[in-house]
Structure 1
Amino acid sequence: MVPEYNFNYKIRNAKKEEFARVGKLLVAVYSQLNGFPKIKEQPHYYDMLRKVGELTKNPNIELLVAVSKQHDIGGAVVYYHDMKDYGSGGTATQEKNACGFRLLGVDPKSRGLGLGKALTLYCIDKAKRSNSQTMIIHTTNAMKLAWKMYENLGFKRAHDLDFMQADLAVFGFRLALKNEIHL
């Protein structure tokens, strides 16, 4: 069972009619990050953000949103049931028995409500109910605030998952989902 979170937002799969709003939100969030490439520097990346809903054509990919009672989208994240579909650089797409999430963004008007953490916990809960052994995520220096949250939730730096996205250093993290049984 997916836990309910203590705020006026519900986390669920985005509806097709919300895809464009989510894309705009992610473009706005990422383009405002200090130290993150701007639209002119990585137009293909921002085009992917703008069209984020298209990722859900793959049944192994979910676009999750945190929606208020007033139907405002406060944040979004893309969940990958299988890392082969993750679409990042580096070796992450070769990880076996692993799931992940990426493209987490929270509307600046909704910051401070715990939506980023709630979306992350929702993904972790989903992953723990899957057959995955590990969860993979990536972040950048522009997202240092999120690093602490991820580490507090049990994610460990995974240098083998690091890669460069053009001139942007991207850093990998792993979370063990299942405890090993030792006989």
Structure 2
Amino acid sequence: MLIRKMKEHEIEFVRMQRLEGYKEYRSLVSEDHWYALKGTLSSDSDLNKGVEIFVAEIENQLAGSIVLFPGKMASYEWTSDSPDYPEIRMLAVDHQYRGHGIGRALVQHCIDLSAKQGYSFVGLHTADFMKNAIALYTKMNFERVPEFDFEPVNDGIIVKGFRLPIPLLHPLKNKSQIE
């Protein structure tokens, strides 16, 4: 598996793959919530300056994608809260590639990149109806940050904030130099 930046000509395929991957949630949410989610997955917010889209490629096929918004950038249209750390969004893995660690690898790529950029945290949002996502983020030690929760439409579904503390990377190689 190769994780790389998305090429410009791949954006429409990535957006269609996202929508296809999220269709399983349509019956679990209100119509208003589905249209808000669908709009987010296909909006141009992922093309804003500083936003990066990464894809997982297996044997020349795009198996999944993820978007990383930089710190202090509003990553949702309906909230003005912007944490001072990057935000992972729109993780999607093609159905035929699920269960092979692709989602985890994409998330880890964003964590590693955020660490290299010197951030102390990386965040994300998800809802309880996305059970596989909740399980993945819990296994990866993301912690809840309820102060970043929001309700995109008035249907009782809370989109929950999570973040992962990133260990400080020390440029010093010798442990005795750190102490």
TM-score (norm 1): 0.80
Distance 1:91 1:172, change over 3 A: farther
SS at match of 2:132: helix
Pairwise CA RMSD of aligned residues?
2.5
Shift of 1:28: 0.9
- Who wins on radius of gyration, i.e. which is larger? 2
- Give the one of 102, 114, 137 matched to 1:127: 114
- Give the one of 84, 91, 99 matched to 2:73: 84
Give me the identity figure in percent.
25
Post-superposition CA distance 1:40-78 (Å, at most 9, x none)? 754354234234xx4454231001111112x21111110
Would the aligned equivalents of 1:83 and 1:100 in 2 still touch at CA under 8 Å?
A: no
Distance 1:36 1:102, change over 3 A: farther
Describe how 1:105-116 pairs up with structure 2 within 5 A.
105-116=92-103
Shift of 1:151: 1.8
> C-alpha separation between the residues in 1 aligned to 2:8 and 2:99?
27
Question: In the alignment, what sits opposite 1:59?
Answer: 49
Q: Partner amino acid for 1:61?
A: V
Which structure has more strand as a fraction of its residues? 1
> C-alpha separation between the residues in 2 aligned to 1:177 and 1:90?
25
1:143 aligns with 2:125: no
Shift of 1:130: 1.0
Would the aligned equivalents of 1:140 and 1:170 in 2 still touch at CA under 8 Å?
A: yes
1:35 aligns with 2:35: no
Q: Partner amino acid for 1:173?
A: F
SS at match of 2:129: helix
Shift of 1:87: 2.1
Shift of 1:123: 0.7
Shift of 1:16: 1.3
| Count of matched residue positions in the alignment of Structure 1 and Structure 2 | 168
Q: Partner amino acid for 1:132?
A: Y
Q: Partner amino acid for 2:54?
A: L
Shift of 1:91: 6.0
Distance 1:157 1:169, change over 3 A: same
Shift of 1:145: 1.8
- Give the one of 150, 158, 176 matched to 1:169: 158
**Range that drifts further, 28-37 or 135-144:** 28-37
> C-alpha separation between the residues in 1 aligned to 2:114 and 2:20?
28
> C-alpha separation between the residues in 2 aligned to 1:41 and 1:154?
27
List alignment gaps of at least 5 residues for structure 2: 169-178
Shift of 1:12: 0.7
> C-alpha separation between the residues in 1 aligned to 2:136 and 2:46?
27
TM-score (norm 2): 0.82
Q: Partner amino acid for 2:57?
A: V
Would the aligned equivalents of 2:63 and 2:97 in 1 still touch at CA under 8 Å?
A: yes
